[in-house]
Amino acid sequence: MKERITFDSRTRQSQTGPVKRQRRPLSNEQKHKLWTNVVFVGLILLCHLLQNTPHMFPTIMGAHCFLLLPLTVCIAMFLHNLPATMLCLFAGVLWDVSAAHLDGFNAIFFLLSSTGVGLLMNYLMRNNLWSANILSALVILLYVTLHWLCFVVLRGVDQGAFTYINYYLPSALYSFAFTPVFYVILRRFMRYIRERYPKSSMARGFAELR
């Protein structure tokens, strides 16, 4: 009578060696998301350093350039929804950390503005340079006005109107001038990513519907 030979898992592993799990390569959609997020985070960090490091970016007659404002508007136009909101929130947190008053003003503003831009792009507006200029102008003007009201008017700073006209409005114009630059750069990058890592037909059809 033949004996029945059984192997437990340890015996089988010792004879055949450890089983190596092969990692699946990233799909085109995963590579698309990965490189998009890496590049956008890099742009946010670069603009944060240029904007908030003293003497790193030139001022024009006392006007400062708020590079993160037009950049986040363009990011919200191309990404939409949650990814854009999280990236813009990250930009706002960076700005708050480097600001003199850590009260979350920038993080809250970027969160709301990116959500608003994403909704407008999803339902009302087309993704083109004209839309970018309009949205960027509205967001920048709203930002400087709210910042002036919260940190100048409500705190009783002297010559508030003079500060708004001679500092906030020139800074808004200076910042707005970079909107076409960011939009063209991001549009070419997104086009390159779509051609380099094309998505599946189903995902592409869903993106076209949006």
Taking only the tens place, the pLDDT of each residue in 194-208 is: 887 786 643 444 344
Is the pLDDT score of 24 beyond 90? no
- 3-state SS track over the chain: CCCCCCCCHHHHHHHHCCCCCCCCCCCHHHHHHHHHHHHHHHHHHHHHHHHHCCCCCCCECCECCCCHHHHHHHHHHHHCHHHHHHHHHHHHHHHHHHCCCCCCHHHHHHHHHHHHHHHHHHHCCCCCHHHHHHHHHHHHHHHHHHHHHHHHHCCCCCCHHHHHHHHHHHHHHHHHCCHHHHHHHHHHHHHHHHHHCCCCHHHHHHHHHC
**pTM for this model (two decimals):** 0.81
- For the chain, list the domains and their CATH numbers: 27-199 (1.10.1760)
Integer angstrom CA distances of residue 26 from 23, 31, 112: 9, 6, 33
The residue with tokens 């003497």 is: 55
pLDDT of residue 7: 46
Instruction: Please give the Cα distance from 31 to 20 (Å, whole number).
Output: 24
pLDDT average, residue stretch 74-96: 91
Taking only the tens place, the pLDDT of each residue in 106-150 is: 999 999 999 999 999 999 999 999 999 999 999 999 999 999 999
pLDDT of residue 4: 52
pLDDT average, residue stretch 55-84: 91
Output the CA angle 40-46-48, nearest 5 degrees.
100
pLDDT average, residue stretch 149-163: 85
